[in-house]
Amino acid sequence: MPRLLVIGGMAAGMSAASKLRRLRPEWEATVLEAGPDRSYGACGLPYLAGGEVRDASDLYALGEDEIAARGIEVRLRQRVTALQEGRKRVEVEELGSGRRRPEAYDALLVATGARAALPSLRGLSGENLFTLHDLGDGRRLQKFLEVEHPRSALVWGSGYIGLEAVENLARRGLSVTLINRSVRVLRDLCPHLREKVVLELEARGVRLLLETDVGEVLSSGNRIASLETDRGSLAADLFLVATGVRPDTDFLRGSPLPMAANGALAVDETCATGIHGVWAAGDCCEVTHLVSGRPTYIPLGTTANKMGRVAGANIAGERERFPGVVGTAVTRVFSLEAGVTGLSAPAAEAAGFSVETATVDGWSRAGYYPGGGPVAISLVSDRRGRLLGGHVVGAEGTKGRVDTLAAALTAGLRVEDLVHMDLAYAPPFAPVWDPLLVAASALRNKLRGR
């Protein structure tokens, strides 16, 4: 019986194993997961901390019975330490006992995901220091909040996880300080939209310190007491670091698998690595950015699920492809929704495009219809009219508008195409001229020199 061995029991790994078993039930599928959990929604961790998700078990995507019904064997706390591709096997360490053993495969999928990337700073550890990357992190933070009843928190990092953590900790009544080394809030929001997020955070009582450098960690016993920064000493009861992630591929250093400088694995459209019998998918991989055409590292659960299915199908002998991404994401910051897709103006310039931008303010519903709120949209194109990216910040409807832009980018549409796009209209949902169309018209006018 041929055997698929999967390293990693999260989105990409479980999707691949499930797809293979559906297509080729004669195959054996074994998943090795280094952690104590399998197949859960890590994106829900901030909401577990905030209490909107009641229990960590609610985040499981697949139950044990469902996994068993699919004919997938999952072994937890099994860490792969080395790949012997010439012998078609891996070396496995059983965490806890420390016992090591080889595991053979006919096909191997590397789906090890990413891990939290902590700043390189001496003393950055303690009982009150947290990340929000895996379910263990979520359980530990939830317990600390319930048992210790902290009154203040410092969140380091203003990306999606950082801002979601800020919102959820503030909703629990903590006094929250948010710091970041750069001026960036979310991913390269233009200054006009970034200012709206900043104002929302400050209106909710968040102390926001951008362009802040941390120089030293001061501890008291087993806990961090303060971070010493160029903006002064910042003390808190709880410290949460959300400064990014990096591919969890260190065990593959020195192997023949193609790897970027940051450790991300290079794969083709079939998720093959170029090494016979070895595929890779998910947050441990680079993907192609469909706008720039270049490899990029954008770790997201949506991408991991799609890549896993494509890998599973190709391992089964089908012919499927994962063409790439346009970098679409959306989040909530208290009463604001913020979404991005494609390239920002600086990223587009770095990719070699000659860039034009337009930013507009509008309203989410018809002016005479109750409710709604402000919407700001920024669009990016090249000077010949090709749409390159867009950002949306508003009270509602952000996901739909960003998804529309993502579809336009995937199709390679021009600004002129977006101007004439037949978007839905009704007073409860949008004005007759949707802010997206207004932004596209403004950008077209700039391209025409008006």
What pLDDT, on a 0 to 100 scale, did the predictor assign at position 184? 86
The pLDDT assigned to 12 comes to 97
Long-range pairs of 357-362 with CB within 8 A, sequence gap ≥ 24: 357/190, 357/381, 357/443, 357/446, 358/439, 358/442, 358/443, 358/445, 358/446, 359/190, 359/192, 359/193, 359/439, 359/442, 360/435, 360/438, 360/439, 360/442, 361/435, 362/431, 362/434, 362/435, 362/438, 362/439
- In this prediction, residue 317 carries a pLDDT of 96
- Please indicate, yes or no, whether residues 225 and 292 belong to a single structural domain of this protein: no
Say whether both 136 and 172 belong to one domain: yes
Q: Residue 338: pLDDT band by 50, 70, 90 thresholds? A: very high
**Is 157 part of a structural domain of the chain?**
yes
Confidence of residue 124 (pLDDT cuts 50, 70, 90): very high
Q: What are phi and psi of 369, to 5 degrees?
A: -90, 135
Confidence of residue 1 (pLDDT cuts 50, 70, 90): confident
Of 310, 154, 112, nearest in space to 243 by CA: 154
pLDDT tops 90 at residue 354 = yes
Amino acid sitting at position 193: L
- Is the sign of the CA dihedral 110, 116, 121, 125 positive or negative? negative
Asked whether the predicted pLDDT for residue 450 surpasses 90, the reply is no
Could you give phi then psi for residue 391, rounded to 5 degrees?
A: -130, 145
Q: What is the pLDDT of residues 281-322, one digit of tens each?
A: 999 999 999 999 999 999 999 999 999 999 999 999 999 999
Whether 308 contacts 282, CB under 8 Å: yes
Residue 269 has what pLDDT?
97
Q: Report which DSSP code applies to 125.
A: -
Asked if 291 and 369 sit in the same domain, the reply is no
Query: Does residue 207 have a pLDDT over 80?
Result: yes
Domain that holds residue 91: 3-34+77-114+246-315
Answer yes or no: do 311 and 364 share one domain.
no
Identify the band that residue 70 occupies on the pLDDT scale cut at 50, 70 and 90. Answer: very high
* Residue after which a domain boundary falls, among 243, 258, 280: 243
How much is the pLDDT for 137? 94
Residue 138 falls inside a structural domain:
yes
Do 250 and 239 fall within a single domain? no
Domain membership flag for residue 169: yes
HSE value, Cβ hemisphere, 13 Å, CA-based, for 129: 20
Answer yes or no: is pLDDT of 29 > 90: yes
Q: Which range has the worst mean pLDDT, 63-72, 105-114, 229-238, 346-355?
A: 63-72
Residues 359 and 429 reside in one and the same domain: yes
CB 85 within 8 A of CB 277: yes
Question: What single DSSP character describes residue 259?
Answer: B
- For residue 128, the model assigns a pLDDT of 97
Residue at which a domain ends, from 222, 243, 264: 243
Asked whether residue 100 falls in the same domain as residue 148, the answer is no
HSE-CB at 20 with a 13 A cutoff on CA atoms is 33
**Closest residue by Cα to residue 230 from 201, 209, 202:** 209
**Catalytically annotated residue among 43, 190, 271, 285:** 43
Residues above pLDDT 90, as percent of the chain = 94
Kindly state the helix (H) or strand (E) to which residue 54 belongs, with its residue range.
Answer: none
| Residue 58: inside a domain | no
Whether 229 and 260 map to the same domain: the answer is no
Residues 239 and 250 in one domain: no
Whole-angstrom distance, CA of residue 119 vs CA of residue 126: 14
pTM comes to 0.94
Lowest mean pLDDT among 15-24, 56-65, 148-157, 350-359: 56-65
CATH code of 274's domain? 3.50.50.60
Q: How many CA atoms lie within 13 A of 433 on its CB side?
A: 10
Written as one letter, the residue type at 310 is V
* 110 and 8 within one domain: yes
The last residue of one of the domains, among 315, 337, 369, is: 315
CA 369 to each of CA 101, 156, 230, 372, 424: distance values in angstroms, whole numbers, following the listed order: 67, 40, 48, 8, 16
Domain count, the chain: 3
- Answer yes or no: are the C-beta atoms of 183 and 313 closer than 8 Å: no
Asked whether residue 26 carries a pLDDT value surpassing 80, the answer given is yes
C-alpha 343 chain-centroid distance: 16
- 78-84 β-sheet, strand order: 78-84, 89-94, 100-104
Look at residue 63 in the predicted model and tell me its pLDDT: 87
- Taken in order 415, 418, 419, 420, the sign of the CA dihedral is positive
How many other CB atoms are found less than 10 A from the CB of residue 397?
21
Tell me whether residue 26 is in a domain.
Answer: yes
43 part of the active site: yes
Report pLDDT digits (tens) over 361-412: 999 999 999 999 999 999 999 999 999 999 999 999 999 999 999 999 999 9
Model pLDDT, residue 449? 87
Look at residue 120 and tell me if it is in a domain.
no
51 is a domain residue: no
Closest to 201 measured CA to CA, from 151, 241, 158: 158
Average of pLDDT values for 211-228? 95
If asked whether residues 238 and 155 sit together in one domain, one would say yes
179's tokens: 């710091």
Among 36-45, 149-158, 205-214, name the one with the lowest average pLDDT.
36-45
Classify 327 in phi/psi space as left (phi over 0), alpha (psi -120 to 50) or beta: left
**Does residue 44 sit within a domain?**
no
Q: Are residues 217 and 307 in the same domain?
A: no
